[in-house]
Structure 1
Amino acid sequence: MNILIGYKKCSTCKNIEKLLKEKNISYEYREIDKELLSVDELKKIMKRANIDVLKLFNTSGMKYRELGLKDKKNEMTEEEILELLSTDGMLVKRPILLKDDKALVGPQVKKYLESL
Structure 2
Amino acid sequence: MLTMYSYPPCGTCRKAKKWLDEHAIPYKEINIAEHPPTRDMLRRLIDQSGVPMDKFFNTSGQHYRVGDFKNKKKNEPEEKWLEWLAADGMLIKRPIVFDEEKATVGFSEETFKEEWAE
- Coarse TM-score class (shorter-chain normalised): over 0.9
TM-score normalized by the length of structure 1: 0.92
Please, what TM-score do these two structures have when normalized by structure 2?
Answer: 0.91
Matched residue, 1:110: 109
The offset of 1:26, in angstroms, is 0.4
CA distance in structure 1 between the aligned counterparts of 2:59 and 2:110, rounded to whole angstroms: 19
Q: Match for 2:109: what amino acid? A: K
Partner of 1:40: 40
Gaps of 5+ in 1: none
How much has 1:54 moved relative to structure 2? Answer: 0.9
- Count of aligned residue pairs for this structure pair: 115
Cα separation, 1, equivalents of 2:75 and 2:45 = 22
Q: Deviations over 1:53-96 (max 9, x none)?
A: 11110000000000111122121111100001111100001011
1:7-40 CA-partner distances (Å, limit 9, x unpaired) = 0010110111011000000000011011111110
- Cα deviation for residue 100 of structure 1 reads 3.5
Q: Which residue of 1 aligns with 2:26?
A: 26
**Amino acid of the structure 1 residue aligned with 2:32:** I
Name structure 2 gaps, 5 residues minimum.
Answer: none
Tell me by how many angstroms 1:114 deviates.
3.9
Q: What secondary structure is seen at the aligned counterpart in 1 of 2:16?
A: helix
